[in-house]
Each structure stands twice: as C-alpha cells, then as structure tokens.
Structure 1
Amino acid sequence: MTTEKSDMAPEFRQLLSATPRGARLARYLAGAQLAAWGVPPGCALMEDVELVVGELAANAVLHGRVPGRDFEVRLGFDGLRVRVEVSDARGDAPPPEIPPEPDPCWAEHGRGLALVAAVAREWGVRPRGTGAPGKTVWARL
C-alpha cells in the first residue's frame, strides 16, 4: 500500500448513503459507468473494478460510517487504466497497510482489502482533502 495524492481528475462521481444498499449501488454504478465508457461487460477489467468498488464501498459502510454522512465513489478512466476512489467521513480508522489474513474456513468478513491488493496494480489511503473530514481509499487497475 502506498499513500498518494490524487492526480487523475474524476470523470464519474457519486455520493451514496452509507448503507448496505448504497454499497451495492456503488458496484452497480461502477459497472454501468465502465460500460458507458466502452469497456465490454464481462471482461477482466470490468469484473476487477466492480470487485474493488464493491469491497471498498462495503468497508466505507462497515468501518467508515458516520451517522448522517454519505460516502463518495469516484472513477477515472484514461483508456487503459481505471482509478477507483472511495471516500468516507471517518478519518480516525485508516485501513491497515497489510491486510490481515482471515480465517480461511470460518470468516465471513476480512477478505476485502486482501482482494483489492490481489487485483489492483496499486492501492493506498490518503486524507480526504479539501477540508472534508475522512479518508479516501484508492486503487489503480
């Protein structure tokens, strides 16, 4: 994991409620936006972006939720690479640099960041910026 300042202007941005429904919607909207940009449905890039958005959005809802505050999803696409950014309102609980190993047999949770690390070229966390509270977890695919 590395820490980086955003250098790709967002081309898609959406605020969503910090609920399980909002996390599911984030994944759906990411796929719809990639399709609008011409990324073929079912290709590896589409599937990986949907996975990363789904995991980061679920983490924003589970670990970054502040009552009354939304989370934000931003996507950027330069024709080759996709940048995913998920921001939440809670900056006091950054994700670990190395995702913990979940119990392979019984754990229902704990695999999200390990999945992100496995499919993303790089990922990291930074303060949300622009005076907004919280953090942004980003990934490049």
Structure 2
Amino acid sequence: MRWLGVLLLGLGGFALGEGGPKAVVLAPEEVLNRCGALVRVLEVQALYREGDTFLLVLGQKEPLLLLALEGDRPMPHMGPPRGRPIRKRPFPFLRELSLARWVVVLPGEYRCFILHRGRVVGVLRLGLDLTPLPLPLEETPSPGPPRRGP
C-alpha cells in the first residue's frame, strides 16, 4: 500500500511538470481544435499488406498515424509497418474517423485520441506549438513497388 502512495506522489509531481523545463500549457479546446483540423485532412500516404491485414500510414506532408485494417475495421497498430508495399487506394472509413474529447499533456507534447465508431484506433501527437509530430518510421521501407531479383 505504501508503494501506491509513492507512485501517486511521483505521478503528481510529473503531472505538475516538476523537475523539468516549464512550458506554457494551452487550453484543451485549442489543442482539440488543431487535432480536429488534422483528422479531417488525413490521407493515405502508404499502404502495406501483412498477411490478411492492411497497414495504413496516414498523414499530410509527413506520416502522423499508423492503423491496421482488418476486414473493414481499423485497429491500433504499434508499428513499424512491415509487409510488402502495395498501391494506395481510397478507404471510406477515413470519413468516419473522429476525435475523442480529451487531451493528454506530456512533457513536450500533446496527445489526441482518434476514434472510429467510438473505439480508439490511434494517437495523434502535437508539439507544444501545436505542430504535428511525425511518426518515428525509420525502419519503414519506401512505399514503392516491391523489388524483384537480387
């Protein structure tokens, strides 16, 4: 039971930003508005096939969100995308993506939760200046056609 008190005190200090650089925390409404604007313009940047699952890299200028598509249902995917790259195509479920009404504030970033029919399917990360933080996909192969031969 004592460890629970220590954990809560540690998390309380972390949540208050103690021990780190002080940053201006924006109102949740501002962050949600920016996340909502980004969700409305997400498009498929790359598409991979991994067995029976499609992996979608969504974004605008850079990759922002990674989803797995099993059947017609988007699911969270921890990445990096693997499998063979295939040609991009439109997905109607993109119009059904919405935004949860809460924001998590972490040191150096905000996190917004992306929903599909009420289920969290991904996390959109923003910097403290509300610029989108790209996915760390350094292991991702280029989304061109698959290579053949040696």
Which bin holds the TM-score, normalised by the shorter protein? under 0.3
TM-score if structure 1 supplies the norm length? 0.28
TM-score if structure 2 supplies the norm length? 0.27
| Higher relative contact order, chain-length normalized (CA < 8 Å, sep 6+) | 1
- Which one has a larger percent strand, Structure 1 or Structure 2? 2
Larger Rg over CA atoms: 2
